[in-house]
A and B are shown apart, each in its own frame.
Chain A
Amino acid sequence: MNNPQQSFEDLQHIKKMMERSSRFISLSGLSGIAAGLCALGGAWFASQKINCWVKGDCQLGHIIDSGGRKLMDELFWVATLTFVAAFILAFLFTFLRSKKNGLPMWGGSTVRLLWNTAVPLMAGAIFLFRMLQLGQYDLIAPGCLIFYGLALINGSKYTLGEVKYLGYGNLLLGIINLWFVGYGLHFWAMGFGVLHIVYGIVMWNKYERKA
């Protein structure tokens, strides 16, 4: 085996094994696109609800005296449903990709990715939940974007490195949003929707189109 060509192939093999064993590389670009579309759908639906409420039509008159709590509840459910739909679709495409490439879906690298993404995300969820409880709605949208961005940056070490750019994008949007309170939905649509779709298309182009 002592020729340069073989040495080159050995090095390639080493690199591949190192990447495969330490990072979760099945993450599909299509997952990003699907999650982004869900987010746009959710944002559109939420804006309909808000418009309805602001104008006071569509049988919502009776909830005005509840001081907008009902609207908040409804928006909360829209957000939850959006998240669940996005998560399921994202999982599906990634699952399909890992099957296609014959890579395990569940392993040490998956656990590490999930854990390192979940910790900032959970801390954020608790923080924002408490803010909702205290009736402080202004910083919910920027808060979501900021914590989500941090979670992605943290998780990117255990999956495709490009995820961190998606993280930086969301973080930046969240921070800008702090000074544009009231435009939360627009920033949400931008961060969770448009950024995901752009990211997904770029990644799909880079890794999956040829494969």
Chain B
Amino acid sequence: MNLIENLNKIFDSRIRLGIMSALMVNEEVNFNDLKELLNITDGNLASHLKTLEESSYVKIEKGFIGRKTNTTYAVTKLGEKAFKTHLTALEKMIGTMK
């Protein structure tokens, strides 16, 4: 089996990997928390989130806290599956080290 095939290109980026990691262990995370977690700019985060959204790995929910907009992100079923496959591939990859 080709190990590299199972490594997801979308998760090549550390930032997208970080976003997915956070979303896997939280029901939802809002934009600002993600920004602080990854320590990146608004624009940078938004573009990575867009990539994930376009692959249907992440879904967006726009809401309000008082008058302020609060955009939260959650992982989709598809995203969860893709992430798990990627994790397994990473582990197998490490297995080849020995």
Contact = CB atoms under 8 A, between A and B. Distances in A.
B97 A4 contact: yes
A108 to B, nearest CB: 5
Contact of B17 (A4, A8, A13, A107): A13
A185 to B, nearest CB: 42
Contacts of A205: none
B21 A14 contact: yes
Interface string B25-52: 1100110110011110000000000000
Contacts of B87: 11, 14
A58 interface: no
A11 B94 contact: yes
Given A2-B4, A2-B93, A17 B33 contact: no
Contacts of B63: none
Contact of B33 (A3, A14, A15, A107): A107
Given A11-B90, A107-B33, A18 B22 contact: yes
Contacts of A17: 17-18, 21-22, 37-38
Given A13-B17, A14-B17, A102-B39, A22 B26 contact: yes
A18 B25 contact: yes
B21 A21 contact: yes
A14 B11 CA distance: 11
A7 B25 contact: no
A3 B4 CA distance: 9
Contacts of B54: none
Given A5-B97, A13-B17, A21-B26, 5 more contacts: A11-B94, A13-B18, A17-B17, A17-B37, A21-B25
